[in-house]
Chain A
Amino acid sequence: MEHAVVPGMTREERLNQWVALYSDAILRTCFLYLSDQAQAEDALQDTWIKAWRYMGEYERKHILNEKAWLMRIAINICKDYRRTAWFRHMDRRRTLEELPAHLMQTNAEDPTLSITVMGLPDKYKQVILLYYYHGLTQRETAQALGISQSAVIRRLKNAQAMLKQSLTGGGEA
Chain B
Amino acid sequence: MKADPMKILFRQTINRELASLYTSSLQQEQMYLNAIGGRKVKRKLTAGLVLVLVLMLLTLTAVAVELMTGKQVVEQVAVPMAQDNQQENYTYEQMTDLLRTLNENGITLDENSTLMQAFRSGRGYWERDAINEICLTVFGQKEGWTIDQKHWYGEMMVEIGAWNLNIWVIPEEGDMTREEALAFAAKAVKETYGEDVPLQTNADWTIHEVFNLVWQQETNSYPPKKAEWFFSYLSNHPGKEGYDVVFSRDGSIIDVHQTPPQESASTIQPVPLYPKEAAAIEQHGKVMYFWPYSVQLDVYGYPHAVPNKTDYALALAYAEQAIADHWGPDALHSLGDYQVGLVFRSYTDPQNSGVSEWDFLFTTDPVFISDGYRIQFKGIQDEQAGGGTLFVDLCVEHANLGNG
Residue of chain B at shortest CB distance from A132: B10
Interface residues of A (CB under 8 A from B): 12, 15-16, 19-20, 23-24, 27-28, 31-32, 37-38, 40-42, 44-46, 48-49, 51-53, 102-111, 113-114, 117, 131-133, 135
Contact of B42 with A by CB under 8 A: yes
Q: Give Cα A60 to B40, complex, Å.
A: 26
Q: Give Cα A101 to B10, complex, Å.
A: 21
Contact of B16 with A by CB under 8 A: yes
B1-40 toward A: CB 8 Å interface, digit per residue (1/0)?
0011011001101111111111101011001101110101
Asked if residues B18 and A103 are in contact (CB atoms below 8 Å), the reply is yes
Asked if residues B35 and A105 are in contact (CB atoms below 8 Å), the reply is no
Question: A49 with B16: in contact, given A107-B120, A107-B121, A131-B7 (CB under 8 Å)?
Answer: no
Asked if residues B16 and A42 are in contact (CB atoms below 8 Å), the reply is no
Q: A24-B22, A107-B16, A132-B11 are in contact. List 20 more A-B contacts (CB 8 A).
A: A20-B28, A23-B27, A23-B31, A24-B21, A31-B21, A32-B14, A32-B18, A37-B21, A45-B31, A48-B31, A48-B32, A51-B35, A52-B35, A103-B18, A104-B17, A106-B16, A108-B121, A109-B13, A113-B14, A132-B6
Point out the residues of chain B lying under 8 angstroms from A107, CB to CB: 16, 117, 120-121, 286, 367
Contact of B333 with A by CB under 8 A: no
Point out the residues of chain A lying under 8 angstroms from B42, CB to CB: 42
B204-235 toward A: CB 8 Å interface, digit per residue (1/0)?
00000000000000000000000000000000
Asked if residues A105 and B120 are in contact (CB atoms below 8 Å), the reply is yes
Asked if residues B22 and A27 are in contact (CB atoms below 8 Å), the reply is yes
Residue of chain A at shortest CB distance from B38: A49
Query: Which residues B286-328 have CB closer than 8 A to chain A?
Result: 286
Q: Give Cα A40 to B25, complex, Å.
A: 17
Asked if residues A27 and B23 are in contact (CB atoms below 8 Å), the reply is yes
Asked if residues B111 and A105 are in contact (CB atoms below 8 Å), the reply is yes
Residue of chain B at shortest CB distance from A131: B7
Q: Give Cα A103 to B17, complex, Å.
A: 7
Contact of B41 with A by CB under 8 A: yes
Residue of chain B at shortest CB distance from A40: B21
Point out the residues of chain A lying under 8 angstroms from B17, CB to CB: 104, 106, 108, 111, 113-114
Asked if residues B31 and A19 are in contact (CB atoms below 8 Å), the reply is yes
Shortest CB–CB separation between residue A102 and chain B, in angstroms? Answer: 5
Asked if residues B43 and A41 are in contact (CB atoms below 8 Å), the reply is yes
Point out the residues of chain A lying under 8 angstroms from B34, CB to CB: 45, 48-49
Asked if residues A114 and B18 are in contact (CB atoms below 8 Å), the reply is yes
Q: Give Cα A19 to B34, complex, Å.
A: 12
Asked if residues A106 and B120 are in contact (CB atoms below 8 Å), the reply is yes
Point out the residues of chain B lying under 8 angstroms from A51, CB to CB: 35
- A20, A45, A46, A113: the one contacting B13 at CB < 8 Å is A113
Point out the residues of chain B lying under 8 angstroms from A133, CB to CB: 10-11, 14
Residue of chain A at shortest CB distance from B20: A102
Q: Give Cα A40 to B31, complex, Å.
A: 13
Q: Give Cα A39 to B28, complex, Å.
A: 16
Question: A102 with B111: in contact, given A27-B21, A38-B43, A107-B286 (CB under 8 Å)?
Answer: yes
Question: A117 with B40: in contact, given A19-B32, A48-B35 (CB under 8 Å)?
Answer: no
